[in-house]
Chains A and B, each alone.
Chain A
């Protein structure tokens, strides 16, 4: 009994420590997001509103990046939406923990809130555990902490970005692509995805001088053709397994806890 209690305590301490580290990293992403958005000329409520309502860092950066490059709002929404398609299989993977027990009303209430907390990080934390109670604790601790930190960090970044007069002199414009690169690198878990991503990036850069802003990034999706294989052997390249959390169904979700 006592031993059981001690291991629970230890693992909870580990959970809190790991969540704190992820929050610190994401807090810096949030500050950078808020600062970049207002330094690029967007009003303060754009990054702040997006962080509350969209709450998906990569797609927020993508949408704002397209708009700051002069792209249309439609292209911005499309880029952000494509990035977030991965939230659908994430939601399937953690459907058992996004609502808590209790009455019907409480179950629905928590399910609606829990859905908003589905992120790369909270799902990765939940999938570390098989025990339902542990999964639930990991998901909600990480999700709630991230939501809080993200929505404090972005307004702080807005303040910092508004205070800086000459953001180019501070190299602030380099932090945006650097953040995206740091987000993308851990997802390049197998050779084909790497080829698709590098090929797509090449297409996007090559088309930037000629296409309307926002479209080159969407054209990069043509790089996904690299994933196509005529006759699929089961797991031919054995990809992704070393750098991901295995879902019960057997495919890997990349863990971006180093972001």
Chain B
């Protein structure tokens, strides 16, 4: 479960990262490569989370319906489909496959 302390810790770290920029803007210069590294780290984490939450449940394979729905949504997202469409397609494809007995 997620204790209150974990939420408080993440909130505090996040706020510190947010306020540090305005407070330090006059005093520090960030190496030019740093923002790109942070953005890449975010991309890596989001993709890893997307892949693991699409393919696995616990330590095992999640079944075919969920990854199929996510793959369909991913194709639409890559083609810059509107966000609501992406989410709806993920849920509908997965739900329809399960209705058809594919899990």
- Give the interface of A toward B (CB within 8 A): 24-25, 28-29, 32, 42, 46, 49-50, 53-56, 58-59, 61-67, 69-70, 73-74, 76-77, 79-96, 98-99, 111-112, 114-116, 118, 168-185, 187-188, 192-193, 196-198, 200-205, 208-210, 213, 216-217, 220-221, 223-224, 227, 232, 240, 247, 249-254, 258-259
Contacts and interface: CB of A to CB of B under 8 A. Distances in A.
Interface of B: 1-11, 13-15, 17-22, 24-25, 28, 30, 32-56, 58-60, 62, 65-66, 69-70, 73-74, 77-78, 80, 82-84, 86-87, 89-96, 98-99
Contact of A28 (B69, B87, B89): B87
21 contacts: A49-B4, A62-B45, A76-B2, A85-B42, A88-B20, A91-B19, A115-B15, A171-B66, A173-B94, A174-B54, A174-B70, A180-B53, A184-B50, A193-B44, A197-B40, A203-B48, A205-B51, A220-B44, A221-B45, A223-B44, A223-B48
A86 B38 contact: yes
Contact of B10 (A54, A69, A93): A54
Contact of B90 (A175, A204, A213): A175
A82 B62 CA distance: 26
A166 to B, nearest CB: 10
A115 B19 contact: yes
